[in-house]
């Protein structure tokens, strides 16, 4: 009989925790989603009847082979792409184009190179009508949170990869999205900086009310970060399985690494 390799980890406490997550309100509902691209007159079926629900404050990681449609799925949720069949809801709202309820972070940072750290974080706030003074105060709080006080007036090219990614994350969070979509955000970082960023992200996630949809091709990263892992398979992309992660999450006060490591 097939026994799942993680079965031994599913203690009663873990089953209980998972059951509690599934009782929370739905944050993201993907129903019977199909996506086809046209390429040189040929139709390529990229995503095929995807069904998935993420619950409030859940940390979901999506893994799967290259080309299985992970980025396409994130772009569909972001409303940057359209699909033929199915529906995506954020809470009870049907996704029909981009909106402030979804924040997005890419591997390539996508910061505005001509703006300082502070201006990058302030941008979305002033765009949505906040006064310059309030936006500045708000931006400084976020900048403090990720330890970039000294770099508030620096430009992106003056920052390390990890720093740029911290700015990209707080810029997305400053607009108070309900869900944060992250497409392989740490893939370009060296292992040490990747670990730092994973710790930062967990800490931020533990302190604010947000659901995270995090794409990675690194299963270890998914196991470290996620409450639940959505595993996609390729050609066409479908859900292979969803896996609750039984590892206890590192607690806030628990310091695996010295504070200097984060300086
Ligand atoms: P992943 O992020 O899992 O590596 P993607 O979502 O980027 O996969 O791509 C899934 C498939 O869809 C790939 O075969 C890719 O070539 C194709 N694809 C993605 N975007 C487009 C597009 N704009 N036009 C045509 N094909 C595309
Ligand atoms: Mg991708």
Q: Which atom of ligand 1 is nearest to the CA of 73?
A: 6
Ligand nearest to the CA of 232: 1
Residues contacting 231, CB < 8 A, separation 6+: 62, 63, 64, 239, 240, 241, 242, 243
- Mean pLDDT value across the chain: 88
**Least confident segment among 3-7, 23-27, 57-61, 159-163:** 3-7
pLDDT attached to residue 19:
80
Question: Does residue 29 contact residue 55 with C-beta atoms inside 8 Å?
Answer: no
pTM of the predicted model as reported, rounded to 2 decimal places: 0.89
State the closest ligand 1 atom to the C-alpha of 69, by its place in the atom list counted from 1: 6
Which of these, 96, 250, 106, 129, lies nearest to 180 by C-alpha position?
106
CA distances 44 to 38, 41, 86, 89, Å, are: 6, 10, 17, 25
Neighbour count for residue 148 (Cβ, 10 Å)? 19
**ipTM greater than cut 0.95:** yes
Residue ranges lining ligand 1, Cβ < 6 Å: 37, 39, 44, 46, 64, 66-72
204: enclosing H helix or E strand? helix 191-207
Determine the residue of 34, 35, 37 to mutate for testing ligand 1's pocket, defined as the one with the most ligand atoms within 8 A of the Cβ atom: 37
The residue behind tokens 């302030």 is 122
Angle at 56 between CA 9 and CA 13, to 5 degrees: 25
* Atom of ligand 1 at shortest range from CA of 215: 2
Dist. CA 69 → ligand 1 center (Å): 6
Q: What is the mean pLDDT of residues 224-246?
A: 87
């Amino acid at each position: 009989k097939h026994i799942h390799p993680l079965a031994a980890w599913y203690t009663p406490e873990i089953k209980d925790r998972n059951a509690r997550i599934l009782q929370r309100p739905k944050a993201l509902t993907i129903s019977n989603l199909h996506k086809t691209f046209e390429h040189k007159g040929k139709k390529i079926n990229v995503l095929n009847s995807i069904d998935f629900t993420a619950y409030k404050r859940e940390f979901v990681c999506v893994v799967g082979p290259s080309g299985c449609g992970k980025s396409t799925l994130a772009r569909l949720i972001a409303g940057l792409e359209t699909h033929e069949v199915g529906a995506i809801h954020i809470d009870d709202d049907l996704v029909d184009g981009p909106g402030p309820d979804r924040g997005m972070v890419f591997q390539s940072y996508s910061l505005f190179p001509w703006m300082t750290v502070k201006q990058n974080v302030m941008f979305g706030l002033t765009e949505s009508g906040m006064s310059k003074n309030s936006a500045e105060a708000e931006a400084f709080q976020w900048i403090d949170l990720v330890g970039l006080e000294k770099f508030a007036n620096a430009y992106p090219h003056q920052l390390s990869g990890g720093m740029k990614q911290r700015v990209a994350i707080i810029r997305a969070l400053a607009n108070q999205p309900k869900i944060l979509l992250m497409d392989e955000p740490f893939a370009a970082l060296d292992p040490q900086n990747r670990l730092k960023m994973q710790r930062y992200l967990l800490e931020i996630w533990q302190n604010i009310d947000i659901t995270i949809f995090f794409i990675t091709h690194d299963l270890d990263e998914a196991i470290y970060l996620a409450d639940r892992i959505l595993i996609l398979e390729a050609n066409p992309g479908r859900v292979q399985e969803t896996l609750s992660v039984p590892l206890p999450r590192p607690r806030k006060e628990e310091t695996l690494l010295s504070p200097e490591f984060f300086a």
